[in-house]
Amino acid sequence: MSRKVAIANQKGGVAKTTSAQAIGAALADLGDSVLLVDLDPQACLTFCAGLDPDSCEPSIHDVILGRVQAPEAIVALKSSTADLDILPANIDLAGAEVVLSGKTGREFALARGLEPVEDEYDWIIIDCPPSLGILTICGLTAAHEVVIPIQCETLSYRGVGQLLETVDEVRRFTNPELEVRGVIATMFDSRTNLGREVLEEVSRIYGLELIGPPVRKSVRFAEAPAAGKTIFEYAPTIPGALSYVEIATALRKGVAA
C-alpha cells in the first residue's frame, strides 16, 4: 500500500508546492513509484509539472466528487524521472468545497477517491491548499503523515499552532493514525542568523523535528516551473536540490523504521 504524505501549511508562500514536487521527484529518482496529488484549486503543482490546468479533464475535482475513478484522471509525466505521475487540478476544484459541504462523510472524499490506486504506488504526495478548509481536511484524512514547510523568515511559523490543532481534530474524528512527521525549512539564507532562530523557535514552541537540511534560497526554483521541469532536471546541483534529495531520503528511512 502507498505511503501517503500531506504537504500542508495554511500560510501561503512557504514553498509548499515546490516541496511537494521536489520530494515526489526525488523519491522517484531514488527508484520509488510516486503519485503527486494537486489538491489546491490554484493548480500550481499541475502547472509546475508542465501541464495546462485548463486542459486537464477529468481532474481531481471529478475524482473526489465520485464522477470518475482516479486512474481515468491520472497523467503520466513526460520526464526523465522513472515513475512519476500526477492527479491534476484545475479551477473547478474551487467549487468542490461547496458541493462537499452538503455531503455526509465529506472528509473521506479524497481517501475514497485514492483507493483504486493505493497499491499502484510506493508514495502518494498530497499538495494541500493554503487554508484549513475542507480540502485540507480531506488531505489530512487521507494521509498517513503530514509534513509542514516553514519559510525561514520572521513570523513565518505563525499559524503552525492552528494547523496542529486541526491535525489533532482530524486524529480525533477521521484519521487517528495521522502523524506529524516534522517540518521542512525552506528559503533558507545561510548568511544570516534569522533562519536558525526561526527553526529554534519552532522546535522550542511546537517540538517539531526538522526533516533533512534547510533548503537554501535559489531563483532556480522559480525558473524550473516555467520550463516545465523538476528542479532535478533544471538545476540538479544547486544546494537546494541536494537538500530535497536528503529530505526524501530521510522520509524513506522513516518508513523503513
Residue range 22-32, pLDDT digits in tens? 999 999 999 99
Q: What is the mean pLDDT of the chain?
A: 91
Assess whether pLDDT exceeds 80 at residue 154: no
pLDDT of residue 81: 53
Q: Which three cell numbers stand for residue 42?
A: 490554484
User: How many Å apart are CA 52 and CA 90, to the nearest integer?
Assistant: 9
Task: Give yes or no for residue 106 having a pLDDT over 80.
Answer: yes
pLDDT at residue 156 in the model: 67
Helix axes 160-173, 194-206, angle to 10 degrees: 30
What is the structure's pLDDT at 26? 95
Pairing of strands 84-87, 75-76: antiparallel
For residues 221 and 29, give the distance between their C-alpha atoms in angstroms, rounded to a whole number.
18
Nearest CA to 74 among 89, 94, 96?
Answer: 89
CATH class of 3-252: alpha beta
Averaged pLDDT for residues 27-50: 95
Residue with cell 486512474: 71
Q: What is the pTM of this model?
A: 0.94
pLDDT at 158 over 80: no
Per residue in 168-227, pLDDT tens? 999 999 999 999 999 999 988 877 777 778 878 888 888 888 999 999 999 999 999 888
